[in-house]
Chains A and B, each alone.
Chain A
Amino acid sequence: MPRSPIFLEKRGYRQRRMMDAVRLLPFLGLMLWMVPLLWPVPEILPDATPEPTEPTIAMSVALRYLFGVWALLILATWALWRRTRDVASDGGADTKDGPR
């Protein structure tokens, strides 16, 4: 990288951190959406035991959680787009100032 400054002024610094956020957001989303892997799943037994042995996650809770995360991610992406649209859409400029 020829002659790129090591330290930037505040605005440039902010923009870079915003681009970092754009890059990291999908991983946050993945982690949040993989949380259901930790939820208890009712054992499907042939002799269906009448009393639930452990509390399961109700459908409404699951719905609220998943769609809540969804809405959050969309909002975050939208907000980041508002902050970074000049940077990221500027062709190759992103690679110039964004450490990869």
Chain B
Amino acid sequence: MVSLNQLVAVCLMYVAGLFIVAFAAERAALRGQGGWLLRSPLVYTLSLSIYCTAWTFYGAVGYAARSGLEYVTIYLGPSLVMIGWWWGLRRLVRIGRSHRVTSIADLISSRYGKSNTLAIVVTVMAVIGVTPYIALQLQSVILSLSIFAAADVPLAEAGGDVINRGQAALWVAAGLTLFTVLFGTRNLNVNERHHGVVIAIAVEAVVKLLALVAVGIYVIWGLAGGLSETLARIDASDIGQWEVQGSRWAALTVLSGAALLCLPRMFQVMVVENDDERQLQIASWAFPLYMMLMSLFVVPIAVVGLDLMPEGANPDLFVLSLPLSQGQNGLAMLSFLGGFSSATSMVIVATLALSTMVSNHIVMPIWLAFRRDGATQSGDVRNIVILARRLSIFCVVGLGYLYYRASGGSGALAAIGTISFGGVAQFLPAMLGGVLWRGATRAGALCGLGTGFVLWVFTMLLPSFGADVALSSATLESGLWGLAWLRPEALFGIAGIDPTVHAVVWSLALNTLVFVVVSLFSFPAPLERLQGAQFVNVFDHSGPARGWTASVAGSEDLMIMAQRILGATEAQAFFAREAERQGHGQRLPEPTPRFVQALERELAASVGAATAHAMVAQIVGGASVSVQDLLAVADESAQMLEYSSQLETKSRELTETAAQLRAANEKLTQLSLQKDSFLSQISHELRTPMTSIRSFSEILRDAPDLTDADKNRYATIIHSETIRLTRLLDDLLDLSVLENGQVTLNQREGNLRDLLDLAVTTAQAGATRPLEVLRDPQAEDITLTSDLDRLVQVFINLVTNARKYCAADQPQLVISPQVTAQGLVIDFVDNGHGIDAGSEALIFEKFSRITGEGDGAGLGLAICREIMCRLGGEISFLGNVPGTAFRVQLPQSVLAPPARDTGPAVGPVVGADTRS
């Protein structure tokens, strides 16, 4: 019999051996020796063997003893995935290498636009999914220990009934944590292989294979008596018939295949620790071979165990208890070490993978968010990252331990394993979709993952605790909230399916459906689209997703940051290499987009893509040109274009205003000139009569001896001059009133003939030389609505002018009104000699007198023009007719009846029939 103490001693020696191997490997790698071994496909394949955990080592036999050949599906799926490496794994490995992916969460987040949300979701899901698995490993180690304890007769006699399971589990957990911390967090760069860990795992892989094969050979040839006897015994046993349900067979094969791709620890060894595709190619046949050997002896051991072991013995531990019961202590010890190896290697790698995810995607972003000053400032990021990773290792192992204590170490190993597989398999649609389909979006991935995860928790994880633990039996019986279609084991009312198949099919199917549908109907962000193109077309050597541009000053900052994350020597080596490649040896490399890109990937290998991106962005900062930045720049230039066009408009407006101002100024200057000339003219006009008035009044005053006739003559002159002055002043006032627009028009209705009659009569009154006025009474019969008094004033002026200035012997004036489309036109044409062409422009100006003769002040036509302007019409000089011709135009509106009755009508009110 092996005593427990002996066992613990052997176990400790074994662990110490592993430590030594790991140390040796680390040192060899450091010295650059043994690279052929560390990078050999053999070690790669053996490290993949962490897929075969204690679940395989112990659980497979128990599984076979319970349900026949079903256990083999757990290895068939991965075998197919490995054999089909060309389709999926090759792509994943290439992406993992070219993007320096650190974990499955990093891969998914990186693919979907370096979304940290997605990384957090995947990390949390992975932790929840893998924790039971870690607990399972602890449980298997404790179970195997307790088998030895039970067989340890002296200990049992001494009253030490069984080992303290909780305490033992704690010790095992602590040991595993120590190992992982020691060898898993030595170097920060996850892409550099953890040589110590990998070698230790490879050794453990050999040990567990040897142990299982040894037990198998012993069972077949030692206990059953040969191959044919064993087969006969198998056929005769309880599990001697094929009785696997087809649905479970297919579902478990798919599930295990998915788990190989999605399990964080598998991703770690298969993708992250891979450094050559050749390794994968060899593993494509070597790893199925390993798995086949691991499962080859499972059925014989189970059958013989069922035969030989007493009723009620735990079939999960046949591998151990069978040799022990036969007194094969050495074999039992080897078997124990095999199981121990399986458990520890899994826990180490799983913890390493999970801690990388937790520290990169949860701890580091939080730390960065709290440190506003960024990575360049104080503090060594490298230490922080390593500390975060170590803490994460503690947390993950601690969670596993807590789960083990909480679950009480109950339940068949296989069940827990399947649940864990189901959880991580939810990553498959988002991962494969992201790698193979460019249309996959972040929203789709988030929704799909969420759906799958919720369904997995509801249909697989919670029911696994049994009724009334996590879910009440009422919920299990009649569905959530009493809704029959929400029964955890018969969703949508479809009952009668095996619970595992039910959960796997529903969660994966709905996960995929939601992922695809949301992806189809959502639109990815630019970075997401570029990353997607890079991932899907990873073999096309696509260009960098985006360019960074930084100033040369940025290089030093980048160097400082890189040193803090990569470590001084590594960073310097990296920078030197880049400088070499750029062609200037000593100095810092130019921060070309390609260099910054490479640096970001290098950093991503240590802290994850999203964090690295954020850190580089902090330094390169404003000068970084991401696609989003480019878009922002495009937006900005669009805004600038708009702004400049606005400016253009404004400047055009300003030019226009300036032109207007100039015009106004010119006008003002002209007006000022006009005013000056007006003033000089008016003073002249006023002075002439005033001079004569003063002279004659002085004569009257100073000459006492004047005759009455003279007095009378002088008084008459004074009188007439004052009249002239008065008239001049009246005219001026009139003009001023008209020009200021202060005139109020007195709209009345009247007949044109009456108006002309009045005008001619007034103008001819007192005339020495009569003017013959030729009129057309028929045409004059037009009813007008206007300020008739003002209109008559215009007519009087025109007739008077003709009378005064017509130089013909027989002066004649023809007045001819006519109605046109524009309104009323009245021409006044005399038979004089007309006006010089040069004077035409002046005749309407104030004080303009063409001939210099006459007694007018030269205001008449100016007043006429103002009046016509007020009446909405126009007065103009017609140059192309013989004699002097003026045309008075009145708008159409004067012909219409008055809009409102403003005054007494002159003449009969006639309608529109008077129009011609």
Chain A residues engaging chain B, CB cutoff 8 angstroms: 19, 22-23, 25-27, 29-30, 33-34, 36-37, 39-42, 44, 56-63, 66-67, 70-71, 73-74, 77-78, 81, 85, 88-89, 91-92, 94-95
Q: List 27 A-B contacts (CB under 8 A).
A: A22-B86, A23-B84, A23-B86, A23-B87, A26-B81, A26-B84, A26-B87, A27-B84, A30-B80, A33-B76, A33-B80, A39-B242, A42-B243, A56-B241, A57-B242, A58-B241, A60-B232, A60-B234, A60-B235, A67-B292, A70-B76, A74-B285, A74-B288, A74-B292, A77-B284, A81-B282, A85-B281
Specify the main secondary structure of chain A where it touches its partner: helix
CA A99 – CA B280 in complex, angstroms? 21
B455 an interface residue at 8 Å Cβ cutoff?
no
CA A77 – CA B292 in complex, angstroms? 14
B74-113 CB contacts (< 8 Å) to partner A:
76, 79-81, 83-84, 86-87
Q: Which residues of A contact B539 (CB under 8 A)?
A: 92, 94-95
Do the beta carbons of A63 and B250 come within 8 Å of each other?
Answer: no
Nearest 4 pairs between A and B by C-beta?
A26-B84, A57-B242, A77-B285, A60-B231
CA A35 – CA B86 in complex, angstroms? 24
Chain A residue at minimal CB-CB distance from B537:
A95
Do the beta carbons of A95 and B80 come within 8 Å of each other?
Answer: no
B540 an interface residue at 8 Å Cβ cutoff?
yes
CA A19 – CA B86 in complex, angstroms? 9
Do the beta carbons of B288 and A66 come within 8 Å of each other?
Answer: no
B228-254 CB contacts (< 8 Å) to partner A:
231-232, 234-235, 237, 239-246, 249-250, 253
Scoring B residues 285 to 304 as 1 if CB is less than 8 Å from chain A, else 0, what string do you get? Answer: 10011001000100100000
Do the beta carbons of A37 and B235 come within 8 Å of each other?
Answer: no
Q: With A29-B80, A37-B250 given, is the CB distance from A70 to B87 under 8 Å?
A: no
CA A89 – CA B282 in complex, angstroms? 10
B541 an interface residue at 8 Å Cβ cutoff?
yes
Chain B residue at minimal CB-CB distance from A88:
B281
B694 an interface residue at 8 Å Cβ cutoff?
no
Q: Which residues of B contact A60 (CB under 8 A)?
A: 231-232, 234-235
Do the beta carbons of B288 and A59 come within 8 Å of each other?
Answer: no
Do the beta carbons of A59 and B83 come within 8 Å of each other?
Answer: no
Do the beta carbons of B83 and A26 come within 8 Å of each other?
Answer: yes
B433 an interface residue at 8 Å Cβ cutoff?
no
Chain B residue at minimal CB-CB distance from A69:
B76
Do the beta carbons of A67 and B296 come within 8 Å of each other?
Answer: yes
Q: Which residues of A contact B241 (CB under 8 A)?
A: 42, 56-59
Chain B residue at minimal CB-CB distance from A38:
B246
Do the beta carbons of B246 and A37 come within 8 Å of each other?
Answer: yes
Apart from the given pairs A58-B240, A70-B76, A81-B285, 18 other A-B contacts in the complex at a CB distance below 8 Å: A22-B86, A23-B87, A27-B84, A30-B80, A34-B253, A36-B246, A41-B245, A57-B241, A59-B69, A59-B234, A59-B235, A60-B231, A63-B69, A66-B69, A81-B282, A81-B284, A88-B277, A92-B539
CA A23 – CA B72 in complex, angstroms? 24
Scoring B residues 268 to 280 as 1 if CB is less than 8 Å from chain A, else 0, what string do you get? Answer: 0000000011100
Shortest distance between the CB of B80 and any CB in chain A (Å): 5
Shortest distance between the CB of A37 and any CB in chain B (Å): 4
Q: Which residues of B contact A95 (CB under 8 A)?
A: 539-540
Do the beta carbons of A89 and B281 come within 8 Å of each other?
Answer: yes
CA A62 – CA B249 in complex, angstroms? 13
Shortest distance between the CB of A32 and any CB in chain B (Å): 10
CA A44 – CA B284 in complex, angstroms? 39
Do the beta carbons of A73 and B83 come within 8 Å of each other?
Answer: yes
Q: Which residues of A contact B237 (CB under 8 A)?
A: 59
Chain B residue at minimal CB-CB distance from A27:
B84
Q: Which residues of B contact A58 (CB under 8 A)?
A: 235, 240-242
Chain B residue at minimal CB-CB distance from A39:
B242
B68 an interface residue at 8 Å Cβ cutoff?
yes
CA A38 – CA B234 in complex, angstroms? 22
Do the beta carbons of A78 and B285 come within 8 Å of each other?
Answer: yes
Do the beta carbons of B289 and A74 come within 8 Å of each other?
Answer: yes
Residue with the highest number of chain A CB atoms closer than 10 Å, among B80, B234, B253: B80
Do the beta carbons of A63 and B292 come within 8 Å of each other?
Answer: no
Shortest distance between the CB of B706 and any CB in chain A (Å): 128
Do the beta carbons of A66 and B79 come within 8 Å of each other?
Answer: no
Chain B residue at minimal CB-CB distance from A90:
B277
Shortest distance between the CB of B304 and any CB in chain A (Å): 13
Taking a contact as CB atoms closer than 8 A, the residue among A56, A89, A92 that contacts B278 in the complex is A89
Shortest distance between the CB of B77 and any CB in chain A (Å): 9
Q: With A25-B84, A41-B244 given, is the CB distance from A77 to B288 under 8 Å?
A: yes
